[in-house]
Chain A
């Protein structure tokens, strides 16, 4: 994937558990785990908004673009 999710790092900084965040944001723990492990294919703006609100951060703090070895992002993967 060309996009890396830095959720675990932010959670560590905020000293917040994944379960607590799931409760605050209002999404299931399973879905949040999918996002944290980088398995998610898409993220809704509403989810991103809720995450940024609860974690008091910007979308750029959560998501990071990471080019592949040959410099091309594998967006369609």
Chain B
């Protein structure tokens, strides 16, 4: 008799217990999602700081390149200083080559600086909590195209520079091109990310227009 009464009490209490557990689980889920969101924002803010440091370093390098270029152009003695600092003694004339190197380096640095600004804009949208916007797709597309172009410029500059240096010390013509696999993997990765963003945006629009 007692067991029947206790069973009845349990049956009566069951919905309340169920509710209690469901509410607890729900609140835990909410707490977890809030924690994840705060971690996500922290990561995005750290990325923002890192990208600002990268921009500052790239700007510094670009300014240095420009100063070296200007000095080499206007100060005839500067080239001698560079020649004296060359311990190997293999390169006898660096004037034209150095100008080409500075020009190529400046173009590449400017391209990477532009990429860094574009990445910063993407990171800013992430900090705001809304990275799946159409602007980010075009930004990512711009990024991989610019990195690919910068890599092509670097390859061309290295061909010119290496051939020039080789011709200055020997009559043999050496044509060599260095293909940096990591740069092309990066280009491929960013191109894929742009497509992922495009699909993400489509999914988001679908979700927004689901009633």
Q: Which residues of A contact B (CB under 8 A)?
A: 27, 31-32, 34-35, 39-44, 47
B205 CB–A CB distance under 8 Å: yes
Contact of B209 among A32, A41, A47 (CB under 8 A): A41
Q: Mark B68-86, 1 if CB is under 8 A from A, else 0.
A: 0000000000000000000
Known: A39-B209, A40-B211, A41-B209. 5 other contacts (CB 8 A): A32-B211, A40-B209, A41-B210, A42-B209, A42-B211
What is the distance, in angstroms, from A19's C-beta to the closest C-beta of chain B?
A: 16
Q: Which of B205, B206, B210, B211 has the most CB of A within 10 A?
A: B211
Residue of A nearest to B205 (CB): A41
What is the distance, in angstroms, from B199's C-beta to the closest C-beta of chain A?
A: 14
What is the distance, in angstroms, from B205's C-beta to the closest C-beta of chain A?
A: 7
Residue of B nearest to A39 (CB): B209
What is the distance, in angstroms, from B207's C-beta to the closest C-beta of chain A?
A: 9
Enumerate 16 A-B pairs (CB-CB under 8 Å) in ascending A order. Answer: A27-B211, A32-B211, A34-B209, A34-B211, A40-B209, A40-B210, A40-B211, A41-B206, A41-B209, A41-B210, A42-B209, A42-B210, A42-B211, A43-B211, A44-B210, A44-B211
How many Å lie between the Cα of A32 and that of B210 in the bound state? Answer: 10
Residues of chain B contacted by A43 (CB below 8 angstroms): 210-211
What is the distance, in angstroms, from B182's C-beta to the closest C-beta of chain A?
A: 38
Residues of chain A contacted by B211 (CB below 8 angstroms): 27, 31-32, 34-35, 40, 42-44, 47
How many Å lie between the Cα of A31 and that of B210 in the bound state? Answer: 8
How many Å lie between the Cα of A35 and that of B209 in the bound state? Answer: 9
How many Å lie between the Cα of A27 and that of B210 in the bound state? Answer: 12
What is the distance, in angstroms, from B202's C-beta to the closest C-beta of chain A?
A: 10
Q: Which of B188-210 contact A (CB under 8 A)?
A: 205-206, 209-210
Residues of chain B contacted by A40 (CB below 8 angstroms): 209-211
